[in-house]
Structure 1
C-alpha cells in the first residue's frame, strides 16, 4: 500500500457547526477542482427530509489547512452538493416541497426553515454529519482523493475529473474559451452543460483537433488532453491564435436567433474549418468578411431546411441563392449540402467529421481563397 503520510481522521460535525464555519468564512464550499452546485430542488428537499427524519447520510470529506498564524480553513473535497443544499435551506432559499414522508408532509409541506417550530429547528441544528478529515495534505493528494472518491461514486463527468486532476495553464485557457463572447452569442451551451464542464470539454476537443487533426472523440480526447496539459508552453502561441479566431468569428457570423452554429456538432465543424483558413480570414477585406457572413448564414439555412425535409420551393430557392454566391451549379451545391447534412448523423464518428469539415471548407474557400 502506498504511504504518502496521509491522515484520514474520522469525526462528526453538527449542522450548527457547519453554519458557524460558513459564517466565519472558514468553510470553502467550492475549491477550484469542485464542480458548481447542480442538484435540482427535489434532491435538496430529499436531503433535508433525511435530516428531519434523523436518518444517516454518507460521510463528507473535508481537507483542513492550518496556517503558521493558526488560521484554519476546511475545503469540501466530497459533499459539496449536500452542504450547499443544507446552507441554502438554513438561509431560506427554498421550501420543503414534495416531501415523501406522510407525517412530515402533513406538518411541514411548503414551509421554509424559518417557519419550522423552534423545537424542530433546534433538533435540526444538532443533527450530526459523519466527517472524514484530511489534515494539511499537499494539493495534489487532495485532488487525487477528490477524483478517486467521485470516480468510485460515479457522480462526476470526465471533464469534472480532468478539472480536478489537471489544473494549470491549459485549464485556464479552456476557461477563457468558455467565457468568450462567442459562447454566449451562439447559445451553444445549455446551463446544465456548463455546470458539468461540457463547455470546457468541447473547447478542449476542438483545440486538440486543430492541433492534431480530426479523430474519434472517445478514442483520442483523453490522450490529447493529457499531452496538451503537460506541455502547454508548446501550444501557447496556438492558444492565442485560437482565442483570436473566436473573436473574429464572433464578430463575423450573423447571430440571429438559433442557427446551425448553435448546435455542438455544427459549431465544432465551423471552428475546425476556420482554423484551417485562419490566415486567409485574418487577411480578408471587410467586403470579403461580409460575403463570408452572408455565405455562412445562407449555408446553415440550406442545411436546416434539408435536414427537416423542407418544402421543395424553399429548398430550391436557398440552393439557387447559394449556388450564385459561390459560383457553382445548383447540382454541385445541392450535393455539398446533402453530404454535410449526412455528416450530422453519427456526429462524433471520424468519417462524419471529415465529411462535414470537407464540405464546409469547400464552401468557405470560394470566398477566402478567391
Structure 2
C-alpha cells in the first residue's frame, strides 16, 4: 500500500457547526476542482427529510489547512452537494415540498426551515454528520482523493475528473474558451452541460482535433487531453490562434435565434473547417467576410431544410441561392448539402466527422478563393 503520510481522521460535526463554519468563512464549499451544485430540489428535500428522521448519511470528506498563525480552513473534498443543500435549507432557499414520510409530510409539507417548530429546529441543528478529516495534505493528494472517491461512487463525469486531476494552463485555456462570447451567442451549451463540464470537454476535443486531426471521440480524447495538459507550452501559440478564431467566428456568423451552429455537431464542424482556413479567414476583406456571413447562413438553412425534407420548395430556393453564391450548379451544391447532412447521422463517428468537415471546408474555400 502506498504511504504518502496521509492522515484520515474520523470525527463528526453537527449541522450547527457547519453553519458556524460557513458564516465565519472557514468552509470552502466549492474548491477549484469541485463541480457546481447540480442537485435537483427533490434530492435536496430528500436529504432534509433524512436528517429530520435521524437516519444516517454517508460521510463527508473535509480537507483542513492550518496556517502558521493558527488560521484554519476546511475545504469540501466530497459532500459538496449535501452541504450546499443543507446550508441553502438553513437560509430558507427552498421549502420541504414532496416529503415521502407520511408523518413528516403531515406536519411540515411546504414549510421552510424558519417555519419549523423551535424544538424541531433545535434537534435539526444537533444532527451529526460523519466526517473523514484530511489534515494538511498537498494539493495533488487532495485532488487524487477527490477523484478516487467520486470515481468509485460513479458520480462525476469524465471532464469533472479531468478538472480535478489535471489543473494548470490547459484547463485555464479551456475555461477561457467556455467563457468566450461565442459560447453565449451560439447557445450551444445548455445549463446542465455547463454544470457538468461539457463545455470544457467540447473545447478540449475540438482543440485536440485542430492540433492532431479528426478522430473518434471516445478512443482518443483522454490520450490527447493528457498530452496537451502535460506540455501545454508547446501548444500555447495555437491556443492563442484558437481564441482569435472564436472571436472571428463570433463576429462573422449570423446569430439569429437557433441555427445549425447552435448544435454541438455543427459547431464542432464549423470550428474544425474554419481552423484549416484560419489564415485565409483572418486575411479576408470586410466585403469577403460579409459574403462568408451570408454564405454560412444560407448553408446552415439549406442543411436544416434538407433534414426536414424542405416544405413548399424551400430546399430548392435555398439551394439555388447557395449555388449562385458559390458560382456552382444547383446539382453540385445539392450534392454538398446532401453529403453534409448524411454526416450528421452517427455524428461522433470518424467517417461522419470527416464527411461534414470536407463538405464545409469545400464551401468555405470556394468562397475564399473566388
Aligned equivalents of 2:190 and 2:323: distance in 1? Answer: 34
Distance 1:19 1:310 in 2: 59
Q: Residue 125 of structure 1 aligns with which residue?
A: 125
Aligned to 1:313: 313
Structural mapping, 1:303-342, within 5 Å: 303-311=303-311, 313-342=313-342
Report the 3-state secondary structure (helix = DSSP H, G, I; strand = E; otherwise coil) of the residue aligned with 2:131: strand
Aligned to 2:249: 249
Correspondence 1:202-213 to 2 at 5 A = 202-213=202-213
- Once superposed, which parts of structure 1, at least 4 consecutive aligned residues long, lie more than 3 Å away? none
1:60-209 paired onto structure 2 within 5 Å: 60-209=60-209
Secondary structure of 1:75 counterpart = strand
Q: Distance in 1 between matches of 2:43 and 2:368?
A: 52
Match in the other structure for 1:259: 259
Q: What does residue 30 of structure 2 align with? A: 30
Displacement of 1:310 in angstroms is 1.8
For structure 1, the 5+ residue unaligned runs are none
Residue 208 of structure 1 deviates from its aligned partner by 0.2
Instruction: Please give the TM-score of this superposition, normalised by the length of structure 2.
Output: 1.00
* C-alpha separation in 1, matches of 2:292 and 2:332: 19
> Counterpart in 2 of 1:293?
293
Offset, 1:312: 5.2
Counterpart of 2:219 in structure 1 is 219
Residues 358, 312 of structure 1: CA spacing in aligned structure 2 closer, same or farther, 3 A cutoff?
farther
CA distance in 2, matches of 1:183, 1:283: 24
For residue 215 of structure 1, give the secondary structure of its aligned residue in structure 2: coil
**RMSD of aligned C-alpha atoms?**
0.5
- Residue 172 of structure 1 aligns to a residue whose secondary structure is helix
User: Counterparts of 2:312 and 2:364 in 1: how far apart (Å)?
Assistant: 25
Once residues 52 and 7 of structure 2 are traced to their aligned partners in structure 1, the CA distance between those partners, rounded to angstroms, is: 32
Secondary structure class of the residue paired with 1:133: strand
Q: Which runs of 5+ in 2 are unaligned?
A: none
Question: What's the counterpart of residue 54 of structure 1?
Answer: 54
**Could you tell me which residue of structure 1 aligns to residue 43 of structure 2?**
43
Give the corresponding residue for 2:239. Answer: 239
Within 2, Cα distance between the matches of 1:13 and 1:309?
62
CA displacement at 1:369 relative to structure 2: 2.2
CA distance in 2, matches of 1:23, 1:354: 54
Alignment partners' CA distance in 1, 2:224 and 2:193: 21
* Distance in 1 separating the partners of 2:311 and 2:176: 42
Count of equivalent residues: 370
- Which residue of 2 is the match for residue 283 of structure 1? 283
> How far apart are the structure 1 equivalents of 2:245 and 2:141?
37
